[in-house]
Structure 1
Amino acid sequence: MNSITLFIRIAIFLAVLVLIDLYAYQAFKTTFRASSFFRMAYWIFSVAVMIGVVYAFLTFSRDTPPQTSFSFLMALMILSIVPKLIILTVMLSEDIWRVGEGTLKLFAKEKPDEFLPDRRKFVSQTALVLSAIPFIGIIHGVLIGRYRYRVINKTLTFDDLPEEFDGLTITQISDVHSGSFDNPEKIQYGIDLINEQQSDLILFTGDLVNNRAEEMEPWIDVFSQLKAPMGKYSILGNHDYGDYVNWPSDAVKQENMEKLYQVHERIGFGLLRNENVQLKKGNSTIDLVGVENWGNGFVQHGDLKKAVSGLAHDSFKILMSHDPSHFDYEVKNFAQKIHLTLSGHTHGMQFGIEIPGFIKWSPVKYRYPKWAGLYEDLGRYLYVNRGFGFLAFPGRVGIWPEITVLTLKKG
Structure 2
Amino acid sequence: MPARRSPVRITRRSILTGLGATALAGLSGAAYGIGIEPMRLTVTSYVIRPLGSWPAALRLRLVAVSDVHACEPWMSAARIAGIVETVNGLGGDVVVLLGDYVAGTRLVTRFVDAAEWAPVLGALRAPLGTHAILGNHDWWEDRGAQKRGGGPTIAGDALGRVGIRVLENEAVPLDLRGERIWLAGLGNQIALLPGRRRFGHPRIGVDDLAGTLAQIPDGAPAILLAHEPDIFPKVPARIALTLSGHTHGGQVRLFGYAPVVPSRFGSRYAYGHVREQADLVVSGGLGMSGVPVRIGATPEIVVVDLVGAAAV
Q: TM-score over 0.5 for the alignment?
A: yes
Instruction: Give the alignment partner of residue 80 of structure 2, picking from 187, 201, 211.
Output: 187
Q: Deviations over 1:99-155 (max 9, x none)?
A: xxxxxxxxxxxxxxxxxxxxxx47x76676466444322201222211211100110
- Equivalent residue for 2:271, pick from 372, 385, 388: 372
Change (3 A) 1:283 1:185: closer
Query: Counterpart amino acid of 1:237?
Result: G
Name the counterpart of 2:175: 280
Q: How many residues align?
A: 279
Which whole-Å deviations, capped at 9, do the CAs of 1:33-59 have from their partners, x for residues lacking one? 35xxxxxxxxxxxxxxxxxxxxxxxxx
1:246 deviates by: 5.8
SS at 2:83's partner residue? helix
- Equivalence for 1:206: 99
Q: Is the 8 A contact 2:122 2:159 kept in 1?
A: no
Equivalent residues in 2 for 1:221-370, closer than 5 Å: 221-242=119-140, 250=147, 257-294=152-189, 298-328=203-233, 330-331=234-235, 334=236, 337-353=238-254, 359-365=255-261, 367-370=266-269
Give how far 1:178 is off. Answer: 1.6
Find out whether 1:150 has 2:51 as its counterpart.
Answer: no
* Alpha-carbon contact 1:364-1:371 (below 8 Å) kept: no
* Equivalent residue number for residue 118 of structure 2: 220
- Cα 1:127–1:156 change in 2 (3 A) is farther
Distance between the aligned counterparts of 1:284 and 1:151, measured in 2? 27
Residues in 1 aligned to 2:85 and 2:279: alpha-carbon distance in whole angstroms: 28
Judge conservation of contact 1:164–1:282 (CA < 8 Å) in 2.
no
Kept after mapping to 1: 8 A contact 2:48/2:306: yes
Q: Is the 8 A contact 1:279 1:288 kept in 2?
A: yes
Change (3 A) 1:249 1:208: closer
**Is the contact between residue 134 and residue 156 of structure 2 (CA under 8 Å) also seen in structure 1?**
no
Please list, as runs of the form range in 1=range in 2, the aligned pairs for 1:140-179 lying within 5 A after superposition.
Answer: 140-158=32-50, 160-163=53-56, 165-166=58-59, 168-179=60-71
Using the alignment, how far apart are the partners of 1:203 and 1:261 within structure 2?
A: 14
Q: Partner of 1:138 in structure 2?
A: 30
Deviation at 1:194, TM superposition (A): 1.3
Letter in 2 for 1:250: K
Structure holding more helix per residue:
1
User: In 1, Cα distance between the equivalents of 2:142 and 2:115?
Assistant: 18
CA 1:248/1:386 → structure 2, altered by over 3 Å: closer, same or farther?
closer
SS in 2 for 1:279: strand
CA contact (8 A) 1:164 1:284 kept: no
Q: TM-score when scaled to structure 1?
A: 0.61
1:341–1:383 Cα contact (<8 Å) kept: yes
Whole-angstrom distance in 2 between the partners of 1:282 and 1:248: 40
Give 5+ residue unaligned stretches, structure 2. 1-9, 105-110, 191-199
Task: Decide whether aligned partners of structure 1 residues 247 and 391 sit closer, same or farther in structure 2, where only a CA change above 3 A counts.
Answer: same
State percent identity of aligned pairs.
27
1:138-174 deviation per Cα after TM superposition (whole angstroms, max 9, x unaligned) = 20122221121110011001374224532x1110111
CA contact (8 A) 1:179 1:216 kept: no
**What stretches of structure 1 of length at least 5 have no aligned partner?**
1-29, 35-120, 354-358
Q: CA deviation at 1:396?
A: 1.5
The answer for the alignment partner of 1:63 in structure 2 is none
Conserved in 1, the CA contact under 8 Å of 2:258 and 2:267? no
Residues 114 and 154, structure 2, Cα contact 8 Å, conserved in 1: no
Closer, same or farther in 2 for the Cα pair 1:318/1:229, shift >3 Å?
same
What is the 5 A alignment of 1:16-27? none
1:175/1:207 contact within 8 Å kept: yes
- Contact 2:32–2:295 under 8 Å retained in 1: yes
Q: State the shift of 1:245 in Å.
A: 6.3
Provide closer, same or farther for how the CA distance between residues 126 and 409 of structure 1 changes in structure 2, counting only shifts above 3 A.
Answer: farther
Equivalent runs, 1:389-404 vs 2, <5 Å = 389-404=287-302
- Report the alpha carbon displacement of residue 204 of structure 1 after superposing the two structures with TM: 1.0
